[in-house]
Amino acid sequence: MIDPIQAVCGSAKISSDNEAGQMYGQLAASISSKFKTTCLSIHHMSKGALQADDDPLQIRGKIRGASSLVDSTRLCIALWLGEEEEAERICLDNDVEYDRLRVVKGAVVKSNSSEVDTKTKTLFRREAVLEPYKETFNFGEF
């Protein structure tokens, strides 16, 4: 795990230089190949991702830095904040203290496979773990 990407790249302009982003992608692929493991890289979103949005393609554009950071990966998953009202409701429904960061949205925003679900998911943090959130409906008595 490399967190954040910038820590490995030193003075390279990974945030603005597509060549530097592509070289980082090649480095991550080399690490994966050599050690037969996944190389998980953590990077930041732009401030635009603080605004709620359910469109994974729009969110992909809010990943900070050169577009080659996303383009050079096999898979890119983004996490971002959803609507504040939704977060408040979900916390209330689950009898937990409201925390803006307890409810986030997530989606695969880039994949080299066509067999991937790219729909936006709502994730709820129970204890320290983000879990897919499933709505339950109470229709009352008939």
pLDDT (tens digit, 9 = 90+) per residue, 12-43? 677 778 888 898 899 999 999 999 999 999 88
> Measured between alpha carbons, how far is residue 120 from residues 68, 113, 142 in Å?
23, 17, 33
| Domain limits for position 117 | 6-132
Q: From CA 41, how far away is CA 26, in angstroms rounded?
A: 12
Query: From first to last of its 142 residues, what are the pLDDT tens digits of the chain?
Result: 888 888 877 766 777 788 888 988 999 999 999 999 999 998 888 877 777 788 888 889 888 888 888 999 999 999 999 899 999 999 999 999 999 999 999 999 999 988 999 999 999 998 889 999 986 545 444 4
Distance CA(34)–CA(142), nearest Å, equals 62
**Is residue 50, in this structure, part of any structural domain at all?**
yes
Buried b (16+ CB within 10 A) or exposed e, 29-48: eeeeeeeeeebebebeeeee
Residues in the chain, overall count? 142
pTM of the model: 0.83
Number of domains in the chain: 1
> Are the CB atoms for 43 and 69 separated by under 8 Å?
yes
Question: How many CA atoms does the CB half-sphere of 10 hold within 13 Å?
Answer: 2
* 85, part of any domain: yes
Q: Is the CB of residue 56 less than 8 Å from the CB of residue 78?
A: yes
Please check whether residue 46 lies inside any domain of the structure.
Answer: yes
Looking at the domain assignment, is residue 47 inside a domain? yes
